[in-house]
Amino acid sequence: MANPPIPSSDAPLLPILIAPHARLKAKARAVAKNDDDAVRAVIPRMFATMYTAPGIGLAAPQVDLGLRLLVIDLMPDNKPAPIVMINPELVAASPELAVREEGCLSLPGMYADVTRPARVKVRFLDQTGARQELEASDLLSACVQHEIDHLDGVLFVDHLSILKRNMIMRKLAKEQKLKK
């Protein structure tokens, strides 16, 4: 898979929407051919925004772009390994489950254990338009599922009990109010 260039630190950052922003709950539309220029322009900005936050994944809806586009970089061995997924779709998921603590740039400072399939296979287009398949496990599996959830208007707290979700959302609202 061709990796995108690592964005320079001077790439303009994008504002990250904070829950409960309504656009975070909207389903993103598929990237079409006429979106190519916009997608090409926003990818370096999404990486710059994600790295600055800092985070390991960012979906287009989080930066108020309603397209099925996401970027991930787990920085294995502290070296950039950027992944761009355009129109990703989960095509297989293991029956085995894994529990991992998740956080989200759209829910800053909030964390909770989320149960997801331990391994997944995802099909997507890379930034050159080439069809790719990726089999993911461990942290990459959780990250891919988390970011694809964003494309469907799902936040990690939506996988929690109503009680836990409400506690996190109230705490986030309180912290956001104190920042203003």
b or e along 72-85 (b: 16 or more beta carbons within 10 Å of the residue's beta carbon)? bbeeeeeeeebbbb
Task: Confirm whether 148 is domain-assigned.
Answer: yes
Task: Confirm whether 134 is domain-assigned.
Answer: yes
Task: Confirm whether 16 is domain-assigned.
Answer: no
Task: Confirm whether 112 is domain-assigned.
Answer: yes
In terms of Cα–Cα distance, which of 117, 149, 152, 164 is closest to 136?
117
Whole domain around residue 41: which residue ranges?
22-179
Task: Confirm whether 68 is domain-assigned.
Answer: yes
Count of the separate structural domains present in the chain: 1
* Banded model confidence at residue 8, pLDDT cuts 50, 70, 90: low
Q: Which residue has the higher pLDDT, 84 or 5?
A: 84
Residue of 96, 101, 147, 175 with catalytic role: 147
pTM of this prediction? Answer: 0.93
Whether residue 3 has pLDDT greater than 60: no
The tens digit of pLDDT for each residue in 55-112 reads 999 999 999 999 999 999 999 999 999 999 999 999 999 999 999 999 999 999 999 9
147 given a catalytic annotation: yes
* CATH code, domain carrying 89: 3.90.45.10
Average pLDDT for the chain: 94
Task: Confirm whether 7 is domain-assigned.
Answer: no
Task: Confirm whether 2 is domain-assigned.
Answer: no
